[in-house]
Structure 1
Amino acid sequence: MNTTDCFACTQTAAAALPDREQVVRTEHWRVAHAFDSALAGWLVFLPTRHVTSFAELTEAAAAEVGPMLLGLSRALQKVVGCVKTYQMMFAEAEGFSHLHIHLVPRAADLAPELIGPNVFGYLKHPREEWVPTERMDELARELRAALPEE
């Protein structure tokens, strides 16, 4: 796959993106709200350079992602009231081999059938149940405001 065929690379290269597509953006990472989720606050971390595994990350990108996961996990607790966050990386879906890390808020009252990896059930809902783009943009702004000062 070349980067022109890569959804993540195409999005990252766009001149202007809505808030939901750049909750946080650094030299090495772009964090977006998942576009196909019925769960508000489902975030996706995407390296700004096309890589398909952690082994391909630069030292700088690898060093940056841990503190970002921590900061956004804390922001999600404040903004959406989750008790913890799940972090997952597979990059196996057709057309989505670009490394991406899912940071998913886990609510205290999450249905038992959605606990753990079954949380991916939120990505199988019909489009009309997805989080509206306006809400994603609003969440992006709220999460940025909840991040600790650097």
Structure 2
Amino acid sequence: MATGCYVCDREAEFDRLPPRERIAYDDHWRVAHAFGSALLGWLVLVPRRHVMELAELSDEEAKSLGVWQVRLARALAAELGIPKTYVAEFGEAPGFHLHFHVVPRRPDFEPSMVGPKVFGLLGRGEDEQVSAEDQDDLAEALSARLIS
């Protein structure tokens, strides 16, 4: 049954999600590749229950949040050879499920893509987006790193 929340609707279909939408998970968090991204490795970390604001996280969710962010940064660094990872949460869209962007900061970024300007790589047209196949390939590689 659709709830009107994209993340919750995807969570309800968890067992049928492609690798790119269930890279890693535990009882509190799920990791997916961002859709509409022109950057391979742009991940989103989402609570597995409906949460709209950071202050609504349970103590257990909050305890593991930082651990997940660091684990994802390490996995991206190892898999993509990137020196830095951005983590961001803005939550400006009304009624939107809380999520954290975990973004690989490639060393060859132009100045126009550094810092918050990296969001220019999100919401791209289909011809500029990372393919579902490439996202799934990376998802499987990251998943293997995160399990070990």
TM-score range, shorter chain: over 0.9
1:105 aligns with 2:119: no
CA distance in 1: counterparts of 2:33 and 2:52, whole angstroms: 20
Contact between 1:74 and 1:147, CA under 8 Å: does it hold in 2? no
Look up the match of 2:83: 83
- What is the DSSP-based 3-state SS (H/G/I as helix, E as strand, rest coil) of the residue aligned with 1:127? coil
CA distance in 1: counterparts of 2:119 and 2:27, whole angstroms: 29
Bigger drift between 73-82 and 39-48 goes to 73-82
Contact between 2:39 and 2:129, CA under 8 Å: does it hold in 1? yes
CA distance in 1: counterparts of 2:146 and 2:111, whole angstroms: 30
Measured against aligned partners, the alpha-carbon deviations of 1:94-150 in whole angstroms (never above 9, x if no partner) come to: 66x11000000001111100100000000142211101001101101111222373x
Following superposition of structure 1 onto structure 2, how do residues 1-150 of structure 1 map, counting pairs within 5 Å?
4-14=3-13, 15-93=15-93, 97-147=96-146, 149=148
Contact between 2:77 and 2:83, CA under 8 Å: does it hold in 1? yes
- TM-score, length of structure 2 as denominator length: 0.93
RMSD, aligned CA: 1.5
Distance apart, 1:91 and its partner CA: 2.0
Give identity over the alignment, percent: 47
In structure 2, the gaps of 5 or more residues are none
- TM-score, length of structure 1 as denominator length: 0.92
Structure 1 residue runs of 4 or more that deviate by more than 3 Å after TM superposition: none
Q: Which amino acid aligns with 1:12?
A: E
Number of aligned positions between the proteins: 146
- What is the DSSP-based 3-state SS (H/G/I as helix, E as strand, rest coil) of the residue aligned with 2:16? coil
Bigger drift between 120-129 and 108-117 goes to 120-129
Contact between 1:71 and 1:148, CA under 8 Å: does it hold in 2? no
CA distance in 2: counterparts of 1:19 and 1:143, whole angstroms: 10
Distance apart, 1:64 and its partner CA: 1.1
In structure 1, the gaps of 5 or more residues are none
